[in-house]
Amino acid sequence: MTRLPTVCFLTGTLNAFAGAERMTAVIANGLAERGYRVFVLSMYDHYSVFPLHQNVAHHAMFDARPSFKRAYLATVLGIRRFLRTHEIDVLVEVDTMLTLFTVPATIGTGVRRVGWEHCHFDEDLGRPVRRVARRIAALTNHAIVVLTERDREQWRQALSPRAPVSVIGNSLPFTFPEIPASREGTTVLAVGRLVPAKGFDVLIAAWEFVSRQFPDWRLRIVGEGEERGRLEALIRAAGSARIELPGAHARVAEDYLGASVFCLSSRYEGFGLVLLEAMAFGLPVVSTDCQTGPKSIVHDGVNGLSVPVGDARALAEALIRLMRDAKLSATLAKQAREHARLYRVEVAIDQWTGLLRAASRDEHRNC
């Protein structure tokens, strides 16, 4: 019987309620369930806000986030030492930026490297060096994993038509809910980090229109981040007491079950995992039509409603439409839940096991 490869996920931290961190825990846990020897190496912080399987070993190189410019050599040597000590076969870089560390760290080790891109190709998150890292990854990694077909096309068109790019979309991070939300309340839910990319300022502006027609409804935005102060100021300026910012927490399933409508107001998304979560719980969704992620998940008028990015009035009108039309909401909710079944975690784990087998056999690139 062929030995399963020993896998290590290299990530910035697991101490953050964010999509990449959550999916790292989900896939690591799923592989451990199937008998893989799995490690997670965080660049900093030993704590994980997401539960890990008992057979997933979590380590961290630094207790707190250092200056990686000053600690570059120490970081490279730390990764190299870890890979050798634990006899890692495949290293999954949970951000292609990590390629800048892993290329020198893996020279001569025989470790196969897989880059896992969570950000869509058009976005560098304000760090132009990310584009350099992607080019290096395309040339040196044994595999690149992206979240959408559009991103695969862009990687190959912009970097190399022969780049080893595979598409593995994010999966639901939990077992498919047996019972959908009752949708008997008067809550519109949004979930995500409080950062400009999520467009919560647009959603708050939209809520001014919504609340005039539905003053008894409330908007609940679950998440935490750098925009909290600004968003709180916008809420005060709007004079709305029906907008809640409860912060980030691990009981998000309770929020989905207690909501009647879900809204994603993002300016851009790598994928849009929270959309799938809401759909799995049987919520009708309103989403901006971001080029990557939501555009491939939400089909307007079929399993949700799509609106232009940054258009507060269109966002409000779509929300009002669902709040007013119970029959439409029920139809979209049913179709959304069926669509979400395509993203069950076992499907993604099947794809990852196939990719890891191929990467562990691949001899054509120098590591």
* Residue 32 CB coordination number (10 Å): 19
Whole-number pLDDT of residue 77:
97
Q: Please list the pLDDT of the chain residue by residue as tens digits (367 residues).
A: 468 999 999 999 999 888 899 999 999 999 999 999 999 999 999 999 999 999 999 999 999 999 988 999 999 999 999 999 999 999 999 999 999 999 999 999 999 999 999 887 877 777 889 999 999 999 999 999 998 888 899 998 888 788 899 999 889 988 899 999 999 999 999 999 999 999 999 999 999 999 999 999 999 999 999 999 999 999 999 887 799 999 998 888 999 999 999 999 999 888 888 999 999 999 999 999 987 778 889 999 999 999 999 999 999 999 999 999 999 999 999 999 999 999 989 999 999 999 998 887 764 443 3
Residue ranges matching CATH 3.40.50.2000 in the chain: 7-171+345-361, 187-343
Q: Long-range contacts of range 356-364, CB-CB < 8 Å, 24 or more positions apart?
A: 356/5, 356/7, 356/31, 356/36, 356/90, 356/114, 357/5, 358/143, 359/5, 359/90, 359/112, 359/114, 359/142, 359/143, 360/5, 360/89, 360/90, 360/112, 362/112, 362/142, 362/143
At residue 179, what is the residue type? I
pLDDT of residue 362: 61
Per the CB < 8 A criterion, the answer to whether 114 and 86 are in contact is no
CB 294 within 8 A of CB 270: no
Cα–Cα distances in angstroms (integers) from residue 24 to residues 222, 229, 297, in the given order: 21, 29, 21
What is residue 367's predicted lDDT score, i.e. its pLDDT? 37
pLDDT of residue 364: 42
Topology (CATH level 3) of domain 7-171+345-361:
Rossmann fold (3.40.50)
Give me the amino acid identity at 291.
Answer: Q
Phi, psi of 268 (to 5 degrees): -155, 160
pLDDT of residue 161: 82
Question: Phi and psi of 224, rounded to 5°?
Answer: -140, 155
Fold of 187-343: Rossmann fold (3.40.50)
Please report the pLDDT score of residue 226 as a whole number.
Answer: 95
**pLDDT given at position 3:** 83
Given this model, what pLDDT does residue 163 score?
84
CA-closest candidate to residue 68, choices 25, 24, 102: 102
By CB atoms closer than 10 A (0-12, 13-18, 19+), residue 47 is exposed
pLDDT computed for residue 141 by the predictor: 94
Distances (CA, A) of 323 to 84, 139, 327: 57, 50, 10
Write the pLDDT tens digit of every residue in 255-296.
Answer: 999 999 999 999 988 888 899 999 999 999 999 998 777 888
DSSP annotation of 177: P
- For residue 328, the model assigns a pLDDT of 97
The predicted pLDDT at position 123 comes to: 74
Q: What is the pLDDT of residues 58-104, one digit of tens each?
A: 999 999 999 988 999 999 999 999 999 999 999 999 999 999 999 99
